[in-house]
Every structure is written in structure tokens, then in C-alpha cells.
């Protein structure tokens, strides 16, 4: 299995992803340049990561310009053929803007950028990044975003629930999904979702920032381990 | 187009901030009267901001040598310290006070952008940012507006740029009501031998401008920074620059990639005084000159006048001197990152800066006389002891009543904006990007930043309690350094070097200058004792507000940004109490001292009192003892006693895990001084019962005072058997107070 981390102009978590996937998880990982229009050397057993950051400065709606990058055509095609695509923070926003995932990410309800640890409750284990976790398991993972309020219309929300596409919800330390533990006003406290085919997943929290004991928190590593385990199980 | 410029007279010079004597000197240097463009060049280069003309004499008295220093203070855009493993750390702090006071969002944002550029222009990748902020009374709507703007500015710029804000400090005091202070620090890493110098060697080599186009923003910004902030300053809005962190991110990546090609001779970012400053400083350093065609400079609007292009402080620009014949390699890199890279001239052997527009020579000035260390003026200012020091000397602690209700007093003190958590502020900063922040889940007195690929971390902090410096500039200057060092030692690291940001009032005011001189003396003495040389920094004078009947300088605020090295992760130390049963010790001398404490200001409304007790040798002994206790593995936590005194420090350690504590005060000392006094050189250590004897034996063998305070116990704070209530309740107050104030 191979990982490709897309570098958009303004991506700033690309190096962090390279570090965790390459150095910490010891996986073959390469950077992909946004101007490339092909994913050379990747097949459907591989995973493309859209990292966090402020693509194109995010002066327009977050992710709205990056979705027009040449490489996104290839990413959409790759996803369509069953390849895994994982978007984190800005990557999640780009996936929603490009239509690979439903919904949008609006400015936080508090109208401020927020960077802090939050707790996530695993809602669905039916995805590569949650397959090895337990439903209701609580993970401490940091967020860092200004536009993380997940929103979708009623019909989309109903589909997300019906198809078990909600991967993570914001919760308190004990796992209770309550308003005071929802940092950005996301609908239904949604922190991460997957598509219907379950090969495209997006989330606002940053597991790559919580994947090493030296940083005092390795909860995020569980998602990387789950992904690797579920691929090798196939 | 015919260029029409004003006639130059001595009054033109004065309008640009130059003195009649300086105007005469310029005429002497040129052998003629300068034209307006040339006069503008001199005015910015000879402004305080660029020339350090009123401070350089005293800056040179600071210790500036050390075996780890790879470049001397002031030689490059930032200090460079060898950290081992073939790596060096470039770091610097700089002020952006005046722009932030007028336009807080852009002022603070461009302050962050500017300091990062100073780091990556040397070839280092910024890995951490810190800041030191001073605001006025937070109860004033004006202050809250400034706080919101500054915090958003720092956040939006740093978050987008992708460098974590890992530490900092925020103080509130009425003296900053009009003139806030915004000091930003950047810390970067570079391989030794792969740095780039700000030089313009090799006549015939091409000169490029890269990054953003040049606009009319920030013109005369350097001059603006070198004048009193007045009621009319809001009219100077065009002197404030506008930031674009996205451009800066591209510029960072492209610059580091361009350096790798080897096609770069020298590089300097454009900050204060824009093209003027970068061309003159690079030329002067290499004893060369430049011929620059201003028509080639990409501009944001047509018909910009020569002085506007030369003085523009448009952000996110670099001046690069490349090797002739290798231009294409540079074009390729900047093209990849969609950045403009335009050749605007070439290096010459004339020693002069020659600027052309429309085929006409619009300015012709020698480089050397423009720059600091060259021909820029150097002044010795007079100073005299400030009158207010008599009021400070007159303070009588016996006039301060002892509290009747210690719980109520502690609560009122603890809710001070200066003591409560700055969570509302720092949660708006990305503190974790780059995945090196060891403090996210385990806080320390200084921020520990892992250096990937090594077993090391940097330990960084910014510190200055300006109330101490106001009370006694000499002692306060020493304390600022000592506290920074103490914080680094408490994180398990060893202090290595400092950068400083010297925020003072008007240097032409002899009382202000007295503060400056004495603060520097104290700072220098402490730096020598801790072997932490000064690698650079910046001076910001004219921080004062002018009213109809008086001027009020800010408290003298010489902010210290200190770098330490943690050579082994296993020595990393945190500040939080770990478990019930751990014993609480105080290393350092308790004493009856209330001087300049938050307690005196907040509880007793006393503004004039001496600096806290401080003895440099005692401080050294305490820090050595703390270092040893940590390295021996005895300490479970280490936390410096600072603002708010012992009680506040205990509570800060207790709140992280909501663990309680029980302590006894020492009846030898006045109880309010014991709990709330801020006498220096004290550190709270907790130790497990099993390590206690060993630690005590060790401390007994050293010439350092220490005492047992009590133990970590339960969930409440007990002082002399009095229940101060659950720590969780204090934590709630600590976390929420500032946010409630800001959101009301």
C-alpha cells in the first residue's frame, strides 16, 4: 500500500502527514503536486490524503478554489474507481466542495478560529479508519479550524444516518454527545463522515497531531493503524 | 511622465522626521542638496527604527559573544545558535506596536509576517512562534477592540502560514491604554552551513524582487514607528501595511527551494523601509552598490512615484541577488510556486545606490552612510533619574493592612486579568501544526518544541514583568532575564541565548532614557551570569501617548525572548502536580516582600512600590539546584513562582489535573507576603515520597535555601487548615474569566 499526500498552495499540514505516515507508521509516502493532472503509480489499494492548511489562502470559501486544481480531477476519478481518499480539516472542506462528500463546512458558530483538544465518539466502525475501533469509543484529538461547522440539508442528513456514514461526533470526555462539547456548532455534532461507498472519508480533527507518545497523545495513531489493518485484511 | 517632486528645504527634512543637523550632514555626504527621493531614503534609513541611532551605544554594552553563536548580534536578520546535530536555530523578536495601536488586525498580522520573514530569509524554516502583548485596561471597550483585532491578526496570519504559536505572555495595565505593545518572535531551524546571508557580492550579478507587487501601503512606516503616537495618528493609516499570509507561505516554500539551487548569492526580506533598506544594507555589507530600474518593479497601481516605490512597506517581498548566468534556475522555482520574480537591476562596484525611472536617474546616494554601523548618526542621549522613583522609595509595607479574609482576598487577586488563563486568546492560535508542540498535553513553564530527526527539543519563552522594570529598571531588567532562564530551567532545558525587544518611551525624554540605560545594564549583567548572550532583537521607542497636558510613557518593557535546549527528552519537566501524596517543596528563599506585586496593585491599589527582592547569585544557585533535581529524576513537577506569588503558582500546578494541596505557611513571614508576594528566585518542586530523602539530602549539601510546604492531597486547597475550596472551582474561574470579559 502506498500513500500520496497532495500539496496545494497553502497546504500546511502536508509535512505533518508525511512525518506520521512515512516516519511514524513507516509507510511508503510521496508528495503529490496540485498541478499534476494524473495520479501516476497509484492503484485502488492505495490512499490519497488531502492535508490540512489554507489552500489558496481560503480567502474565498474554504476549499472552494482547491477543488479546481488539476489534481482534483484525478482524485475524483481515483475515488470513483474505489481508491481511498482521506481529507483532514482543509482536506475535508475540499472533499465537500468537490462533491466527493456531502454537506458543507461553515464558519464556526463562535465566529473564531479554535485550536484545542476535543473528544470524538466513534459513531460508525464501517470505514477503513474506524474499522479497528469500537462504536462509542472516545478519542482525544485536536481541532484547529475557523470553518468546521458541518451542515447539510434534511434529506442529506437523513441519508447520512440511514447509510451509517457518520464516523465521528464531538463528545465530552465521558463520551456524551452534548451541546457543550460541540466546539463549532456542527449539525448533529458531526466531526467526520464517509461517502456511501465508504472509500472517501473526511474529518475536521487532526489525528496526525496526536500520533506520537512524545506529544503526550497517541489516540490519533489508532486511525492510521485501523486503516493499515483494514487494507491488509482485504 | 514628468516627475514632479517637492522642493527640498530643511523644513521638508523636518517633516520627514530628520533634524536640521541631520539635514546638514546629508548635504555634506552628497556634496549637494538631496532631491525629495534621496531625502526620503535618508529619512527612513536614519529613522530610529532602521538606524538605532539613539540606542546603539548602549546595545553594544550587552554581551554578544558565546561559543554557540554562529553570527554576531546585528550581523544578519536574526541570531543564529548552534544546537548540535549539525543544526542551528535562528530566532528573533520584533515589535509592531504603533501599527497595532492604529489598526490592530493588520498591525499584528504583519508583525507576525515580518518576523517570520527575518527567519526564512536566512534559509531557516520557522517552526515556532511566540508573542508578548501589552494592553490597557480590559474594562475599556477600546481595549477589548484592540485585543480582538490583535488576536485575530496574529491568529489569521500564523494559522494560515502554518507555524504554531507555542507560547507568549499577555499583561494588562493602564499605561498601555493608548499605546499597546505587540512583540512577535519566530524560531527557525536550518542546517549549519546552509544559511543565506544578506549580501550583495559580485558586481554584475542580477538583483531580483520576488513575491508580492509593490503598493502604496506602509509608506514612511519606519518613520511612523519612530515618532510619538498622537491623537492624530489614526490619520497615518496608509503607513500601516496589509498582510497576506498565503503569499508568505508561498514565499517561504519558494525561498527555501531557491536556496537549495545554490543560485543565490544573498537574500534579504523587505520589512521596514522596503526596497531602500534591503538594497542599502546588502550593498553596504558587501561594499558594493546597485543600479536599480524602478520601472521593472511590479507595482499594484500605475504612476507610483519613485519615493513611493522605494519606501513602500508592502509585505511578502524579498530582494535576492543571484549568480549571473543562473537566473533561469531561480525563475523556475518561483514560477513553480506562481510567484513573481523580476530582475530589477544589478550589483555594481560603485558603492552607490542608483535608482532610475523612465530612463532618468531619480536618486544617487552612497550605501555606506545610510546604514547602521556605517554613516548613520549615532547619538548619546542624556538621562536623569526619574522623579517618580522617590514615590517608590517612600513605600512603607507596614502601611499595607493584612487581609482579614484570605480566601476572599485570594479569589479577588486570582481573578485579575493578569493572572487568569489567557485561553480565550491562545485558543485562537494554531499551537500544534508541525506536530512538535510537547506542551499541548503536558504544560511546562517554557514551551518545549521537538526538533524532528534529533532527540532534542528547543525550550522557548518570552518574559518581562514591566511593573518591576518601572519600579527599578536595573533590577527589573535583571529579573526579566532571570525569569526567562528560570522558566527554561523548569522545563528541564538549559538556557542558551536571548533576543530582546526593548519597548520604551521617547528617548529624548531624559527620564525615559534613564530607564532604558539602567534596564540594559541589568539585562546585560544577568545575561553574563547565565551565559545567555544577546543575539539581536529590536528597539521600539516612542511608546507613549500624548495628551493635551502631558505625555505618558508606557512602563519600560524590555521583553526577553529566550532560547534553551533540552538535550534529552527524558529530562523534560512539566508544571502540573502528578498525584496525591507527592510532597511539595519550595526551592529558594521565602521572605516578607510585597514589592510591585499584583497583590499590591489589585487588592490595595498601590502603584508605587519597589521591585521584588532579587539577588543574582541566589537566583543562579536556585536554578542550579532545580536543574540538578530535575536531572536526577527526583522532581515530579517544577513551577516557577511568578506573578501572583506562591498561592497562584500552587494553584496553577494544581488545576491541570484538578488535584488539591495542603500547605502550611511559615509564621516567620508576614502571611500575605508569603502567599502573594513576588520575591524572586523561587521554584515549587513536587517529589514522590520515595525520592524525598534523596532530594533533601542533596539540597542540604548545596548552598541553597529550601523548605517543605506540604503535600498534594484531595481535591481542595488547604492553607494553614483553612479550606480555600475545590481546585475545580478555581479552575473554572481561571479558565472563564477573560472569556467572559471579552464576550460580554
Per residue in B324-333, pLDDT tens?
A: 999 999 999 9
Give the separation between CA A150 and CA B303, rounded to whole angstroms. Answer: 47
pLDDT band at B238 (very low <50, low <70, confident <90, very high): low
B576 touches B637 (CB < 8 A): yes
Residues B614-651, buried b or exposed e (16+ Cβ, 10 A)? bbbebbbbbbebbbbbbeeebbbbbbbbbbbbbbbbbb
Q: Which residue has the cell 492548511?
A: A53
Residues of A in contact with B492 (CB under 8 A): none
Q: Smallest Cβ distance to B246: which of A23, A54, A117?
A: A54
Query: How many beta-carbon pairs below 8 A join chains A and B?
Result: 93
Q: Tell me the nearest-neighbour CA distance from B687 into chain A, angstroms.
A: 21
B91 phi and psi angles, rounded to 5 deg: -150, 150
> In this model, does residue A231 exceed pLDDT 90?
no
What pLDDT, on the 0 to 100 scale, is given for residue B232? 58
Give the separation between CA A11 and CA B213, rounded to whole angstroms. Answer: 22
Q: Measured between CB atoms, does B388 come within 8 Å of chain A?
A: no
Q: Smallest Cβ distance to A13: which of B161, B433, B438?
A: B433
B584 touches B686 (CB < 8 A): yes
User: What does the angle CA A213 – CA B487 – CA B120 come to, to the nearest 5 degrees?
Assistant: 70
Consecutive H or E run containing B410: helix B406-414
Give the residue on A whose Cα is nearest the Cα of B431: A115
What pLDDT, on the 0 to 100 scale, is given for residue B374? 84
A216/B250 Cβ within 8 A: no
B65 touches B74 (CB < 8 A): no
Q: In this structure, are strands A149-151 and A104-106 parallel, antiparallel, or unpaired?
A: antiparallel
Give the separation between CA B652 and CA B300, rounded to whole angstroms. Answer: 51
Instruction: Please tell me whether residue B506 adopts helix, strand or coil conformation.
Output: coil
Q: Tell me what the pLDDT averaged over chain B comes to.
A: 94
Q: Tell me the nearest-neighbour CA distance from A22 into chain B, angstroms.
A: 13
**HSE toward the beta carbon, residue B540, CA cutoff 13 A:** 33
Give the separation between CA B345 and CA B208, rounded to whole angstroms. Answer: 7
Q: Measured between CB atoms, does A59 come within 8 Å of chain B?
A: yes
β-bridge partners, B373: none
Q: Measured between CB atoms, does A52 come within 8 Å of chain B?
A: yes
Q: Smallest Cβ distance to B430: which of A112, A115, A215?
A: A115
Q: Measured between CB atoms, does A94 come within 8 Å of chain B?
A: no
Give the separation between CA B452 and CA A24, rounded to whole angstroms. Answer: 11
Q: What number is the average pLDDT over the span B374-402?
A: 95
B81: its cell numbers? 545558535
Task: Count Cβ atoms below 10 Å from residue B589 Cβ, excluding itself.
Answer: 18
pLDDT in tens, B113-159: 999 999 999 999 999 999 999 999 999 999 999 999 999 999 999 99
* Residue B537, burial from CB neighbour count under 10 angstroms (0-12, 13-18, 19+): buried
pLDDT band at B236 (very low <50, low <70, confident <90, very high): low
Q: Tell me the nearest-neighbour CA distance from A212 into chain B, angstroms.
A: 9
Give CA torsion, residues A130, A132, A137, A141, to 10 deg.
-60
pLDDT in tens, B398-444: 999 999 999 999 999 999 999 999 999 999 999 999 999 999 999 99
Q: What number is the average pLDDT over the span A72-99?
A: 98
Q: Smallest Cβ distance to A215: which of B244, B430, B441?
A: B441
Q: What number is the average pLDDT over the span B656-667?
A: 97
What pLDDT, on the 0 to 100 scale, is given for residue B235? 56
3-state secondary structure B518-537: HHHHHHHHHHHHHCCCEEEE
pLDDT in tens, B577-630: 999 999 999 999 988 999 999 999 999 999 999 999 999 999 999 999 999 999
Instruction: Please tell me whether residue B322 adopts helix, strand or coil conformation.
Output: strand
What pLDDT, on the 0 to 100 scale, is given for residue B240? 72
Q: Tell me the nearest-neighbour CA distance from A68 into chain B, angstroms.
A: 16
A215/B435 Cβ within 8 A: yes
Give the separation between CA B232 and CA B235, rounded to whole angstroms. Answer: 6
For chain A, how many residues are written?
A: 234
In chain B, positions 565-604, which contact chain A (CB-CB < 8 Å)? Answer: 569
> In this model, does residue B233 exceed pLDDT 70?
no
Q: What number is the average pLDDT over the span A191-216?
A: 98
Q: What number is the average pLDDT over the span B267-287?
A: 93
3-state secondary structure B594-618: CCCCHHHHHHHCCCCCCCCCCCHHH
Q: Tell me the nearest-neighbour CA distance from A49 into chain B, angstroms.
A: 16
Residues of chain B with pLDDT > 90: what percent? 89
B90 touches B460 (CB < 8 A): no
Among B435, B444, B458, B576, the strongest candidate for a mutation testing the A interface, having the largest count of A CBs within 10 A, is B435
Residues of A in contact with B452 (CB under 8 A): 19, 23
A113/B155 Cβ within 8 A: yes
Give the residue on A whose Cα is nearest the Cα of B439: A215
Residues B710-740, buried b or exposed e (16+ Cβ, 10 A)? bbbbeebbbbeeeebeebeebbebbebbbbe
A182 phi and psi angles, rounded to 5 deg: -95, 105
Annotated catalytic residue A208: yes
> In this model, does residue B230 exceed pLDDT 90?
no
Give the separation between CA A46 and CA A162, rounded to whole angstroms. Answer: 28
Give the separation between CA A92 and CA A97, rounded to whole angstroms. Answer: 9
Q: Smallest Cβ distance to B429: which of A52, A115, A117?
A: A115
Give the separation between CA B451 and CA B401, rounded to whole angstroms. Answer: 50
B337/A9 Cβ within 8 A: yes
Q: Measured between CB atoms, does A144 come within 8 Å of chain B?
A: yes
Q: What is the DSSP letter of B632?
A: T
A219: its cell numbers? 489516540
What pLDDT, on the 0 to 100 scale, is given for residue B352? 97
A212/B435 Cβ within 8 A: yes
> In this model, does residue B72 exceed pLDDT 50?
yes
User: What does the angle CA B443 – CA B445 – CA B446 come to, to the nearest 5 degrees?
Assistant: 95
Q: In this structure, are strands B457-463 and B494-503 parallel, antiparallel, or unpaired?
A: unpaired
Task: Count Cβ atoms below 10 Å from residue B225 Cβ, excluding itself.
Answer: 23
Q: Smallest Cβ distance to B435: which of A10, A19, A117?
A: A19
Give the residue on A whose Cα is nearest the Cα of B424: A114
pLDDT band at B550 (very low <50, low <70, confident <90, very high): confident
What pLDDT, on the 0 to 100 scale, is given for residue B298? 97
Q: Smallest Cβ distance to A16: which of B246, B428, B434?
A: B434
Closest CA to B29 of B12, B50, B46: B46
| A77 Rama class: left (phi>0) / alpha (psi -120 to 50) / beta | alpha
B342 touches B295 (CB < 8 A): no
Q: Measured between CB atoms, does B433 come within 8 Å of chain A?
A: yes
What pLDDT, on the 0 to 100 scale, is given for residue B547? 72
Give the separation between CA B479 and CA B490, rounded to whole angstroms. Answer: 16
Q: Measured between CB atoms, does A100 come within 8 Å of chain B?
A: no
In chain B, positions 659-678, which contact chain A (CB-CB < 8 Å)? Answer: none
Task: Count Cβ atoms below 10 Å from residue B525 Cβ, excluding itself.
Answer: 17
Give the residue on B whose Cα is nearest the Cα of A108: B428
For chain B, how many residues are written?
A: 744
Q: Measured between CB atoms, does B3 come within 8 Å of chain A?
A: no
B269 touches B137 (CB < 8 A): no
**HSE toward the beta carbon, residue B195, CA cutoff 13 A:** 27
What pLDDT, on the 0 to 100 scale, is given for residue B1? 44
Q: Measured between CB atoms, does A27 come within 8 Å of chain B?
A: no
Residues B173-194, buried b or exposed e (16+ Cβ, 10 A)? bebbbbbbbbbbbbbbbbeeee
Catalytic residues of B: 49, 96
What pLDDT, on the 0 to 100 scale, is given for residue B414? 97
> In this model, does residue B221 exceed pLDDT 70?
no
Q: Tell me the nearest-neighbour CA distance from B732 into chain A, angstroms.
A: 14
Q: Which of A13, A89, A171, A194 is catalytic?
A: A89
Q: Which of A34, A119, A145, A206 is catalytic?
A: A206
B321 touches B266 (CB < 8 A): yes
pLDDT in tens, A20-40: 999 999 999 999 999 999 998
Amino acid at each position: 500500500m502506498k500513500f500520496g499526500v497532495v500539496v496545494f498552495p497553502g497546504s500546511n499540514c502536508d509535512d505533518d502527514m508525511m512525518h506520521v505516515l512515512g516516519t511514524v507508521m513507516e509507510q511508503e509516502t510521496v508528495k503529490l503536486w496540485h498541478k499534476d493532472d494524473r495520479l501516476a503509480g497509484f492503484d485502488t489499494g492505495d490512499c490519497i490524503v488531502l492535508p490540512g492548511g489554507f489552500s489558496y489562502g481560503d480567502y474565498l470559501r474554504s476549499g472552494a478554489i482547491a477543488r479546481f486544481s488539476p489534481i482534483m480531477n484525478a482524485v475524483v476519478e481515483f475515488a470513483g474507481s474505489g481508491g481511498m481518499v482521506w481529507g483532514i480539516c482543509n482536506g475535508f472542506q475540499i472533499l465537500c466542495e468537490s462533491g466527493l462528500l456531502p454537506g458543507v463546512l461553515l464558519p464556526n458558530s463562535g465566529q473564531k478560529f479554535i485550536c484545542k483538544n476535543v473528544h470524538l465518539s466513534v459513531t460508525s466502525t464501517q470505514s477503513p479508519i474506524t474499522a479497528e475501533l469500537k462504536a462509542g469509543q472516545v478519542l482525544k484529538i485536536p481541532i484547529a479550524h475557523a470553518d468546521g461547522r458541518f451542515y447539510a440539508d434534511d434529506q442529506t442528513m437523513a441519508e447520512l444516518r440511514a447509510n451509517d456514514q457518520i464516523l465521528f461526533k464531538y463528545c465530552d470526555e465521558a463520551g456524551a454527545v452534548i451541546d457543550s462539547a460541540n466546539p463549532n456548532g456542527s449539525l448533529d455534532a458531526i466531526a467526520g463522515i464517509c461517502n456511501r461507498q465508504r472509500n472517501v472519508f473526511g474529518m475536521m480533527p487532526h489525528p496526525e497531531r496526536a500520533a506520537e507518545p512524545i506529544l503526550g497523545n497517541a489516540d490519533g495513531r489508532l486511525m492510521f493503524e485501523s486503516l493499515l489493518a483494514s487494507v491488509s485484511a482485504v | 511622465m514628468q516627475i514632479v517632486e517637492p522642493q527640498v528645504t530643511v523644513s521638508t527634512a523636518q517633516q520627514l522626521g530628520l533634524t536640521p543637523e541631520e539635514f546638514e550632514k546629508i548635504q555634506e555626504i552628497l556634496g549637494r542638496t538631496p532631491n525629495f527621493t534621496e531625502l526620503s531614503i535618508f529619512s527612513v534609513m536614519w529613522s530610529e527604527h532602521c538606524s538605532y541611532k539613539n540606542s546603539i551605544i548602549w546595545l553594544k554594552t550587552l554581551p554578544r559573544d558565546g561559543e554557540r553563536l554562529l553570527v554576531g548580534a546585528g550581523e544578519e536578520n536574526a541570531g543564529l545558535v548552534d544546537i548540535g546535530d549539525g543544526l542551528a536555530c535562528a530566532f528573533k523578536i520584533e515589535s509592531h506596536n504603533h501599527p497595532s495601536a492604529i489598526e490592530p488586525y493588520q498591525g499584528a498580522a504583519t508583525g507576525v509576517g515580518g518576523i517570520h520573514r527575518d527567519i526564512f530569509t536566512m534559509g531557516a524554516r520557522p517552526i515556532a512562534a511566540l508573542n508578548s502583548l501589552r494592553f490597557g485596561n480590559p474594562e475599556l471597550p477600546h481595549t477589548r477592540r484592540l485585543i480582538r483585532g490583535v488576536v485575530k491578526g496574529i491568529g489569521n496570519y500564523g494559522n494560515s502560514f502554518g507555524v504554531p504559536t507555542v507560547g507568549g505572555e499577555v499583561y494588562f495595565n493602564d499605561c498601555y491604554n493608548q499605546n499597546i505593545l505587540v512583540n512577535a518572535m519566530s524560531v527557525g531551524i536550518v542546517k549549519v552551513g546552509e544559511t543565506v546571508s544578506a549580501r550583495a557580492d559580485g558586481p554584475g550579478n542580477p538583483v531580483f524582487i520576488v513575491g508580492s507587487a509593490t503598493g502604496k501601503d506602509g509608506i514612511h512606516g519606519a518613520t511612523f514607528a519612530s515618532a510619538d503616537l498622537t491623537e492624530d495618528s489614526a490619520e497615518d493609516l496608509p503607513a500601516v501595511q496589509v498582510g497576506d499570509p498565503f503569499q508568505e507561505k508561498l514565499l517561504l516554500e519558494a525561498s527555501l527551494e531557491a536556496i537549495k539551487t545554490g543560485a543565490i548569492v544573498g537574500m534579504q526580506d523587505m520589512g521596514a523601509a522596503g526596497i531602500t533598506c534591503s538594497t542599502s544594507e546588502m550593498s553596504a555589507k558587501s561594499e558594493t552598490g546597485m543600479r536599480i530600474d524602478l520601472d521593472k518593479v511590479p507595482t499594484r497601481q500605475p504612476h507610483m512615484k519613485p519615493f513611493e516605490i522605494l519606501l513602500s512597506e508592502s509585505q511578502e517581498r524579498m530582494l535576492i541577488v543571484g549568480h549571473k548566468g543562473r537566473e533561469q534556475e531561480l525563475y523556475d522555482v518561483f514560477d513553480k510556486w506562481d510567484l513573481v520574480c523580476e530582475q530589477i537591476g544589478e550589483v555594481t562596484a560603485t558603492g552607490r545606490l542608483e535608482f532610475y525611472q523612465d530612463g532618468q536617474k531619480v536618486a544617487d546616494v552612497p550605501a555606506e552612510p545610510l546604514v547602521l554601523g556605517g554613516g548613520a548618526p549615532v547619538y548619546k542621549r542624556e538621562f536623569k533619574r526619574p522623579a517618580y522613583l522617590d514615590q517608590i522609595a517612600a513605600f512603607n509595607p507596614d502601611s499595607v493592612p493584612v487581609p482579614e479574609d484570605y480566601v476572599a482576598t485570594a479569589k479577588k487577586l486570582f481573578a485579575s486579568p493578569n493572572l487568569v488563563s489567557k485561553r480565550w486568546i491562545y485558543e485562537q492560535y494554531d499551537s500544534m501544526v508541525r506536530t512538535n508542540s510537547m506542551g499541548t498535553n503536558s504544560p511546562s513553564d517554557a514551551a518545549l518544541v521537538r526538533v524532528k530527526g534529533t532527540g532534542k527539543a528547543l525550550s522557548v519563552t518570552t518574559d518581562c514583568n514591566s511593573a518591576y522594570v518601572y519600579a527599578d529598571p536595573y533590577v527589573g531588567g535583571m529579573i526579566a532575564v532571570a525569569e526567562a532562564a528560570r522558566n527554561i530551567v523548569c522545563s528541564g532545558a538549559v538556557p542558551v541565548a536571548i533576543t530582546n525587544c526593548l519597548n520604551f518611551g521617547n528617548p529624548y525624554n531624559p527620564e525615559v532614557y534613564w530607564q532604558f540605560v539602567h534596564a540594559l545594564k541589568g539585562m546585560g549583567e544577568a545575561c553574563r551570569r547565565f551565559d545567555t548572550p544577546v543575539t539581536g532583537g529590536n528597539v521600539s521607542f516612542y511608546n507613549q501617548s500624548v495628551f493635551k497636558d502631558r505625555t505618558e510613557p508606557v512602563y519600560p518593557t524590555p521583553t526577553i525572548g529566550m532560547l534553551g535546549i533540552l538535550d534529552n527528552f527524558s529530562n523534560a519537566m512539566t508544571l502540573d502536580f502528578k498525584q496525591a501524596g507527592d510532597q511539595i517543596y519550595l526551592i529558594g528563599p521565602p521572605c516578607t516582600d510585597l514589592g510591585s506585586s499584583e497583590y499590591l496593585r489589585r487588592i490595595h491599589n498601590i502603584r508605587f512600590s519597589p521591585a521584588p527582592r532579587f539577588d543574582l547569585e541566589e537566583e543562579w544557585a536556585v536554578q542550579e539546584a532545580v536543574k540538578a533535581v530535575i536531572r536526577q529524576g527526583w522532581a515530579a513537577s517544577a513551577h516557577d513562582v511568578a506573578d501572583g506569588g506562591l498561592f497562584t503558582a500552587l494553584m496553577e500546578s494544581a488545576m491541570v489535573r484538578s488535584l488539591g494541596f495542603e500547605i502550611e505557611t511559615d509564621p516567620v513571614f508576614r502571611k500575605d507576603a508569603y502567599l502573594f508576594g513576588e520575591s524572586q528566585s523561587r521554584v515549587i518542586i513536587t517529589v514522590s515520597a520515595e525520592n524525598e530523602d534523596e532530594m533533601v539530602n542533596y539540597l542540604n549539601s548545596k548552598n541553597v535555601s529550601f523548605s517543605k510546604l506540604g503535600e498534594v492531597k484531595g481535591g481542595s486547597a488547604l492553607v494553614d487548615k483553612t479550606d480555600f475550596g475545590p481546585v475545580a472551582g478555581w479552575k473554572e474561574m481561571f479558565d472563564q474569566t477573560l472569556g467572559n470579559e471579552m464576550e460580554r
